[in-house]
Amino acid sequence: METKVNYAVVGGFVLVLGAALVVAVLWLAAGGMMRKTYDPYLSVVIESVAGLNLNAPVKYNGVDVGKVEEIRLDPRNPQRVILLFAIERGTPIKTDTVAILKSQGLTGITYVELSGGGRDSPPLRTLAGNPYPVIRSQPSLGARLENVLTSVLAKLDSTSNNINAILSDANQAAFKHALDDIASVAHTIAQRNDALDAGMRDAARTLNNTARASAQLDPVIKRIETSAAAVEKMGNEVALAGKTVNTIGADVKRFTAETLPELERLLGELSVLSTSLRRLTEQTERNPSSLLFGRGAVPEGPGEKSTGERKP
């Protein structure tokens, strides 16, 4: 019995199977079941990114963890370059992780190196106002060397300008005149060498005489010191005597202030008593009986009338 074959079905099956094989091969070539998942991160660098291309590797301590997906200038500040990374999910990107541009080998291929990230540091999160988490950046070795070289060159340029100013024509002429003056002085000293030697000898003799005079002055100085001590002692004694005189003077002043008024009153009373005694004596001499009978009547004077009263 002859079997009938449907060639159209067989052809369609072959085509479908071939397409499935092609799709499987492409899927496997693209990663297939081993395809990785990436998370976006941003980083901003303030330096030239020459040599860094799209899909350049992003390494974490030397291990490939992603790639560079976008390189663009910051429209608000063209000095800043914004880099967008695609980093494998699960990579420990921490708040203290930093991104640095590095060159690989002698070819000069630039890539991004991530470093840092302490074990206890929190994971990096997206902040308000940013679409993705932002990894901090640090200047690359080339940028640091460029800054150092720029500073060194600026200092060298300043030093060169200062040297040129010092070695100007006017300063060179002044320096030449100074050398000529020094040479003239040296020549004059050389010509007067004998006079200088004689002066030095005279100075030596003068110093010797001064030393001898100083030795002879020592006893005189000692005697002067002794006399000065004696004068000082005498001055102390005079000062003590002056203090004693001051004390006596204070006592005399106090005596004068307190005793003289009493003495003056006593002398006044003695003067009154003496006057009374003199009058009494004179009266007794004129009329001794007045001691017994008192004073008699006083005779009336011319023009006075007798009133019959007795005047004392």
Q: Domain locations in the chain?
A: 35-138, 140-189
3-state secondary structure of 6: coil
Q: Which residue carries 């300043």 as its tokens?
A: 158
Q: What mean pLDDT is predicted for residues 2-18?
A: 74
Q: Phi first, then psi: what are they for 65, rounded to 5°?
A: -125, 0
3-state secondary structure of 38: strand
Q: Which residues make beta-bridge pairs with 136?
A: 98
Q: What pLDDT score was predicted for residue 271? A: 74
Asked whether the predicted pLDDT for residue 307 surpasses 50, the reply is no
236-287 pLDDT, tens per residue?
Answer: 776 676 566 566 666 656 656 666 676 677 677 777 767 777 776 666 666 5
Q: Which residues make beta-bridge pairs with 44?
A: 82
Q: What is the dihedral of CA 108, 112, 116, 117, to 10 degrees?
A: -160
CA distance 108 to 120: 35
Asked whether the predicted pLDDT for residue 296 surpasses 70, the reply is no
164-177 pLDDT, tens per residue?
Answer: 888 778 888 888 88
Cα 47 to the center of its chain, rounded Å: 38
Continuous H helices in 65-126: none
Higher pLDDT, 178 or 230: 178
Sign of the C-alpha dihedral, residues 189, 194, 195, 200? Answer: positive
User: What are the tokens at 276?
Assistant: 């009374």
Among 103-117, 127-141, 176-190, the least confident range: 103-117
Q: What mean pLDDT is predicted for residues 20-39?
A: 74
Q: Answer for the pair 42, 130: CB distance below 8 angstroms, yes or no.
A: yes
Q: Give the helix, strand, coil percentages of the chain, each rounded to 5.
A: 55, 20, 25
Higher pLDDT, 35 or 33: 35
Quick one: which of 225, 227, 206 has its CA closest to 217?
225
- pTM of the predicted protein model: 0.44
| Beta strand extents in the chain (DSSP E only) | 38-45, 57-60, 63-74, 77-88, 97-104, 109-116, 134-137
How many Cβ atoms are within 10 Å of 87's Cβ, its own excluded? 21
**Longest distance between any two alpha carbons in the chain, whole Å:** 226
Cα 236 to the center of its chain, rounded Å: 53
